[in-house]
Structure 1
Amino acid sequence: MTPRPSPQHHHLASPLPPSQGTAVPPRASSAAARGTATPVRTASAASRGVPAPAPVRASSGAARGAATPACTASAAAHGVPEPPPHRVVALISAPQSALALACATEVFGDHGPDVPRRYAFGICAEQPGPIRTQAGYDLLVTDGLDALEQADTVLVPGWDQPPGTDVPPAVADAVRQAHRRGARVISICSGTFVLAAAGLLDSRRAATHWARSAELAVRFPQVRVDPAVLYVDHGDVATSAGAAAGMDLCLHLVSTDQGAAYARRVARQLVMPPHREGCQLQYAELPAAEPVADSLAPLLDWLADRLDEPVTVADMALHAQVSARTLTRRFTEQLGISPGRWLLDRRIDATRALLEETDLPVETIAHRVGLSSAVNLRRRFHSALRTTPAAYRRAFRTKP
């Protein structure tokens, strides 16, 4: 049975209409459509011979086979065993990203006697046997695609094939069937390509590694690729950016399944924060100069030398000796963005470079890049990268 889509979440992006996701971090019942919880008969009811009530829909903690701490305590008090662990099965392929797989393993795996185990983790492959990792060692996989039939969550931790490589039909079909049966399907990094090939992302927002966002958008135009966010959660389907962002997504899902308190315990065991600040674009490389048509090249060079000046579109048009309308059309045709957007992007790039390479105050940087004030720079910087200049500098400052 296909699960009902639950409230959608995305990390570190502006609030959107329900069809596109709502801002994280809500702790809503995004998984409630996947399971039921059978109430324990109370002592008073049992003494009167009253039958136990019928099963009811699970809360967010009991979703997909998971139990909230409160439910666990109640069950233990009445002598009822805890529900079985939530089954997570990772579908891997060669060359497998060891980091992407490890991120999921660490979150959904065993955390020792101090943290109750709520998940059972396993791996499978299209063809069981040795699976080579990007690190050069092999993983011995004993289960095939039929392992997905018993999974509560199917995880695809990367799909690192050469550009243009098609997902094998058997893999796409197995993932599609698992979702149709009611399993939650999630991806880490380039694993999003498998979900897209299975048709699970049609007309939906999705994340993948920033370096492959353009490729995903070209190969699967029906998917609304968001190159900025760390992850997007639609309840029944979730996708994340680069490998480390997969850990952010997995912790978010643990919080959704088990509650924020349990997720914080897991995060502390991993020595990492439950949430990261910013979006994945802050990790993207500063863009190199792109070749442009001769009609714009002189203007772009002129603008690059005047980032500290308050240049308007009218100033650009005057320098290029064309009308503002013609200039805007040329930018759109040759660069895909407006003149104002191009100039702001270069100012943000210059800000990033100064934050990485100098200890200049933010106010000084603002004037050097033409953003007039520290307040304006912080606002523009946060809008572009979902983080603050101070946080960016702490993360990326290059010491001399």
Structure 2
Amino acid sequence: MNHDDEINIEGSYRAYYGKLYASLLHHFGKSYIPIIEDAIQNTFLKALRQWKHGRIPENKLGWLFIVAKNDLLNQIKKEAFQINYIEFDADQQDYRLEVLYYIIKATDIPKKAKTLFILKNIFGLHIKEISASTLLGEEAIYKNIQRTRKRLQKGGRQKFPGSFSALKPLEIALVTEVLYGVFNIGYDAVESKSFFNYDVCLEAYALTKTIKNQHADVRIKHLLSLFSFHIARFGSRKAKGKMVSFFDQDKSLWNQSFINAGFHYLEKPDQLNQYYIEALIVSSYMMENNYDEGFWNKMSSCYKLLQNITDSPILQLNVCYCLMQLNQEEEAIKIIEKVEPVLRGRYYYFELVKASLYKKNKSEISKELFLKALNNISQPVRKQYILEHFLLE
């Protein structure tokens, strides 16, 4: 199989895994959860063998539905499961939202476990990708998903009724958190062959927009605003096969329709939330032409507001970068030392920011840190960027 074939299979896996999972779960019921995942994995393995040298079906999703359904039926017969389901055709309807709703409403599953299960099975993300995004160990993620699977499996065939309009504030907060996580994994796809996955981001955007039509919570609008500003810049993130940093991007390539959508959804809330402040930060970066001391002071104030809501180590790293631009290296080093136990070796931006900070202080350790960042990633595009912009300059 050539490189293009592999890219095609990877793209199909990301685009269709969650749809296949949700459809099989919807039609067969949660009793078959343990073998539904096996059926989907077997289906993509079959696709790897059969979709060679351009022999790709015109209707990929339909082909995958049929193969997954037949594989699941074969497993049911082989394992002598009691079969009690309604026969269905490959209707290709997207059942992810109703399965997402069902999992969100489950009362006996912890919030973190719900999030991990949804990321893996509704959005088809790999364990490594989830680990890179959540900073949780792969083994811990796997065990959480296994426990959730067993809890969901209890009982027979399950219908998944309900509208997102009925979700309570804490439940809609979990929905936005999941969609935010999915988008970020697509936006900064450190475990993908590319350094971002446009399709994953658009999927998160489309599902968020659908939920917005069912629920009036302003956080959903702010999430759409944040997504819109990021998507607007996708056409400028790569040029001639090379990664382009934000400050070097050609603004004429930015999508004005998505920028307009970003401001349209940026409705001022009665109470500040994470997505509103992040959308404000991104839009400020995009609208500014002069990144001077005044700008970085403004950004520093925004990040401090954000810290009152979510004080994640990755946010701390962003604060550190701001302080570095303001020549407040001493404060920046304190933050680096604080987040190092959590981020070192697990989040390659940590090594980049720390190396840049020490380089600014003309420290000998900076080159060693850049090399560590280089060794933490496998993507050729990112490796080339680090070499050209940090080690060879």
Q: TM-score, normalised by structure 2?
A: 0.29
Relative to its length, the structure with more strand (as a share) is: 1
Structure number with higher helix proportion: 2
TM-score, normalised to structure 1's length? 0.28
Of the two structures, which has the highest relative contact order with CA contacts closer than 8 Å and spacing of 6 or more? 1
